[in-house]
Amino acid sequence: MNKNILLQRLTGWRCLAADLAYQSEAQETINADLSRFLPEIPYQQAGIRALNYCLLFIPSFRSVFYYRIREHFILRGLSKISVKAPSAIEIHGSIGKGFAVYHNSCVIHPHRAGQNFTVNYGVVIGKGKPAPDDPTRVDPDFGDNVEVFPNASIFGGITIGNNVKIGAGAVVNKDVPDNCTVVGNPMRIIPRD
């Protein structure tokens, strides 16, 4: 038996408040987030066991989970006492299903992000110049299936299209169309077919 599964069974009581929060209206969204981590864990499908495993052994998933249950103040507070959240991740904004953060050192403040949004180590997403069409929007909008690689910085009221990859160390401060890769500082857009 996997050592972590045995440890999970012995310490699973720590996830009781999180299990109750999981039963909320956010369950479908949490399952979509969990499914992004399934290749890394010994479970084949999203559910309570996969949730507890990820909460106990994948700190970056904890941040995603606590972001999803942010409306349930009491259960979130109890969960954070028994399964500590990493302090090096900030998550705000509206983020769609299938959200995955793979490391513990990020600032994620999109205005909106679509489904299957992936963030790696050291990424900073946040405020900058306002959008030309909406002076109140100072954070980026992301489409679906966007992957941001390590140490990229994305800021301002810009729009990132669907199916975009933002390369390691890229500095993005202008709109990016669908189906392309962004690299470098200054940013360079490489279309993909």
**What is the pLDDT at residue 17?**
85
For residue 7, pLDDT beyond 80 = no
Which band of pLDDT confidence, cut at 50, 70 and 90, is reported for residue 1?
Answer: low
Alpha carbons 165 and 120: distance in angstroms, whole number: 12
The residues that bridge with 79 in the sheet, in sequence order, are none
Alpha carbons 184 and 12: distance in angstroms, whole number: 44
For residue 104, pLDDT beyond 70 = yes
User: How does pLDDT run across 112-133, given as a tens digit for each residue?
Assistant: 999 999 999 999 999 999 988 8
Residue with tokens 């690689």: 149
Alpha carbons 64 and 34: distance in angstroms, whole number: 9
Q: What domains can be seen in the chain, in order of their start residue?
A: 3-82 (no CATH), 89-191 (2.160.10.10)
**What is the pLDDT at residue 70?**
83
User: How does pLDDT run across 25-69, given as a tens digit for each residue?
Assistant: 889 999 999 999 999 889 899 999 999 999 988 888 988 998 898
**What is the pLDDT at residue 34?**
95
Residues 6+ apart with CB under 8 A from 106: 88, 89, 90, 119, 121, 122, 123, 124, 125
User: How does pLDDT run across 129-178, given as a tens digit for each residue?
Assistant: 998 888 899 999 999 999 999 999 999 999 999 999 999 999 999 999 99
User: How does pLDDT run across 64-91, given as a tens digit for each residue?
Assistant: 998 898 888 777 777 777 777 767 788 8
pTM of the predicted structure, to 2 decimals: 0.85
